[in-house]
Amino acid sequence: MRMPTAMLLVAALATGCASQDYRDTNAAVDANPACASRPDRPGEPVSAACERKAEATWSSERKSGDRPIDFSRKPKDD
Protein backbone atom coordinates (compact mmCIF):
# COMPACT_ATOMS: atom_id res chain seq x y z
CA MET A 1 0.00 0.00 0.00
CA ARG A 2 2.90 2.35 0.66
CA MET A 3 4.42 1.94 -2.80
CA PRO A 4 1.31 3.02 -4.80
CA THR A 5 0.79 5.96 -2.45
CA ALA A 6 4.42 7.03 -2.84
CA MET A 7 4.22 6.74 -6.63
CA LEU A 8 1.04 8.82 -6.68
CA LEU A 9 2.68 11.47 -4.52
CA VAL A 10 5.74 11.63 -6.80
CA ALA A 11 3.53 11.92 -9.89
CA ALA A 12 1.49 14.71 -8.31
CA LEU A 13 4.61 16.65 -7.37
CA ALA A 14 6.13 16.20 -10.82
CA THR A 15 3.03 17.50 -12.60
CA GLY A 16 3.10 20.66 -10.50
CA CYS A 17 6.33 21.68 -12.25
CA ALA A 18 5.01 21.24 -15.79
CA SER A 19 2.81 23.28 -18.09
CA GLN A 20 0.51 22.26 -20.90
CA ASP A 21 -0.86 24.35 -23.75
CA TYR A 22 -3.87 23.25 -25.80
CA ARG A 23 -4.78 24.92 -29.08
CA ASP A 24 -7.52 24.19 -31.56
CA THR A 25 -8.86 26.01 -34.62
CA ASN A 26 -12.50 24.87 -34.46
CA ALA A 27 -13.93 28.25 -33.36
CA ALA A 28 -11.96 30.16 -36.01
CA VAL A 29 -13.06 27.75 -38.75
CA ASP A 30 -16.71 27.99 -37.66
CA ALA A 31 -16.55 31.82 -37.66
CA ASN A 32 -15.00 32.04 -41.13
CA PRO A 33 -17.77 32.28 -43.79
CA ALA A 34 -15.36 31.05 -46.50
CA CYS A 35 -15.18 27.72 -44.66
CA ALA A 36 -18.96 27.13 -44.74
CA SER A 37 -18.83 25.00 -47.89
CA ARG A 38 -16.89 21.79 -47.63
CA PRO A 39 -15.26 19.85 -50.47
CA ASP A 40 -17.70 17.63 -52.36
CA ARG A 41 -15.37 14.72 -53.00
CA PRO A 42 -13.31 12.76 -50.50
CA GLY A 43 -9.62 13.52 -50.78
CA GLU A 44 -10.24 17.00 -52.18
CA PRO A 45 -7.83 19.47 -50.56
CA VAL A 46 -9.09 21.87 -47.90
CA SER A 47 -7.83 25.43 -47.56
CA ALA A 48 -5.20 25.86 -44.83
CA ALA A 49 -7.40 28.49 -43.15
CA CYS A 50 -10.31 26.02 -43.03
CA GLU A 51 -8.38 23.02 -41.73
CA ARG A 52 -9.38 21.96 -38.23
CA LYS A 53 -6.44 21.26 -35.95
CA ALA A 54 -6.14 20.35 -32.31
CA GLU A 55 -2.75 20.16 -30.67
CA ALA A 56 -1.32 20.07 -27.20
CA THR A 57 2.20 20.70 -26.02
CA TRP A 58 3.67 19.71 -22.67
CA SER A 59 6.74 21.31 -21.21
CA SER A 60 8.63 21.01 -17.97
CA GLU A 61 10.65 24.15 -18.77
CA ARG A 62 9.87 27.46 -17.10
CA LYS A 63 8.44 30.09 -19.42
CA SER A 64 10.38 33.32 -19.71
CA GLY A 65 7.40 35.43 -18.57
CA ASP A 66 6.77 33.41 -15.41
CA ARG A 67 7.85 34.96 -12.15
CA PRO A 68 8.62 32.85 -9.12
CA ILE A 69 6.11 33.10 -6.30
CA ASP A 70 7.33 35.20 -3.38
CA PHE A 71 6.61 33.43 -0.09
CA SER A 72 8.86 35.70 1.98
CA ARG A 73 6.25 38.33 2.87
CA LYS A 74 4.30 37.95 6.08
CA PRO A 75 0.52 38.05 5.85
CA LYS A 76 -1.13 41.32 6.83
CA ASP A 77 -4.18 41.55 9.07
CA ASP A 78 -6.76 43.79 7.46
pLDDT in tens, 20-57: 788 898 898 889 888 887 777 788 888 888 888 899 88
pLDDT bin (cut points 50, 70, 90) of residue 6 is confident
Report the chain's C-alpha Rg in angstroms.
Answer: 23
Model confidence, pTM: 0.45
Sign, CA torsion 69/74/75/78: negative
Average pLDDT, the chain: 77
Any idea where the domains of the chain sit in the sequence?
Answer: 19-59
Q: Is the pLDDT of residue 4 over 70?
A: yes
**Among the residues of the chain, which ranges form H helices?**
2-15, 26-31
As a whole number of angstroms, the distance between CA 19 and CA 68 comes to: 14
